[in-house]
Amino acid sequence: MITYIARRLLATLPVIVMVAIVIFAILRLTPGDPAAIIAGDDATAAQLEQIRQTMGLDQPIYTQFIVWVGRLLQGDLGVSLLSGTPVLQMIAGRMGPTLALAVSTIVLTVLIAIPLGVIAAWRQGKLLDRLIMSLSVLGFSIPTFVVGYLLIYFFAIQLNWLPVQGYKPLSAGLLPFAQRLILPTLALSAIYVALIARITRSSIIEVMGEDYIRTARAKGLKEKAVLMRHALRNAAVPIVTVIGIGIASLISGVVVTESVFNLPGLGRLVVEAVLARDYPVIQGLILLFSIVYILINLIVDLLYTVFDPRIRY
């Protein structure tokens, strides 16, 4: 197992290098001049040239890439072109809201989606099954930002139960922290609850016709024990896979949700950096998201052996 983990970690290095090359090239080749954005509309040609020299943008692209990689190998993600703040410091400062939103979304999704999927499979073809699947289709079809604005309208504006936008850290108190996290979590989890519930239902139905399920029933086990102890465990591999995919997909969902609810997390930082063409910040964020995505896939692969002992690496 340790050898397998080491091989997988080594295999991620070429992927990260390719991601870095592609992102660096795309950002540099797209139209637009970050120096013009920084200097403003009234800047003279001499001022623009001075800014380009200061930021190193007057150098050839391959020289800029070599300099960036050299700093990256030393753990330096560079400095923001706009604020002059180290990128690593900016990411660390925005990590809290994003982690809080991601963790709450994952926990809520798993706690709701898997029971719904099991119940739908247990009541296959019945009214409850149709109701759950209809809600899943609805949740999967409505964009996250639409769900977010609907939640804001009903629960924050009409009922005045929760704050409209903003974020409070946990250090400010559990209640303010939770109040400002409820609506973003509900909005972001809607699509993932729908996805995981459907996959759970399909996986449970598939294993319910296996011989060991009939044997368990023949032994007199209650239906709840059959579903939870035998069916769900043996259907866990595809469920874990789609949960892993959902966690990795949170990256795009976080960008939209944080913009809707004005959360000062990494998603908002992505939007701000893209609009300002702040190359170092964009590159640092994409590398971070790529590494997270790769690590999630590795964890999912390792979890396969926990739920299915027949899988060995």
Asked whether the predicted pLDDT for residue 311 surpasses 70, the reply is no
Separation CA 209–CA 254 (nearest Å): 39
Can you say how many angstroms the Cα of residue 46 is from the centroid of all Cα atoms in its chain? 43
pLDDT digits (tens, 9 = 90+) for 47-67: 777 777 766 767 777 787 788
Separation CA 297–CA 300 (nearest Å): 5
pLDDT digits (tens, 9 = 90+) for 135-159: 888 887 888 888 888 999 888 888 8
- Residue 99 DSSP SS3: helix
* Sign of the torsion formed by the C-alpha atoms of 260, 266, 269 and 271: negative
183 vs 58: which has the higher pLDDT: 183
CATH architecture designation of domain 94-307: Orthogonal Bundle (1.10)
The pLDDT value recorded for residue 185 is 92
The pLDDT value recorded for residue 297 is 79
Asked whether the predicted pLDDT for residue 123 surpasses 60, the reply is yes
- Determine contact, residues 224/143, Cβ cutoff 8 Å: no
Separation CA 118–CA 211 (nearest Å): 19
pLDDT digits (tens, 9 = 90+) for 73-106: 787 777 887 777 888 888 888 888 888 998 899 8
For the chain, give every domain's residue range: 2-73, 94-307
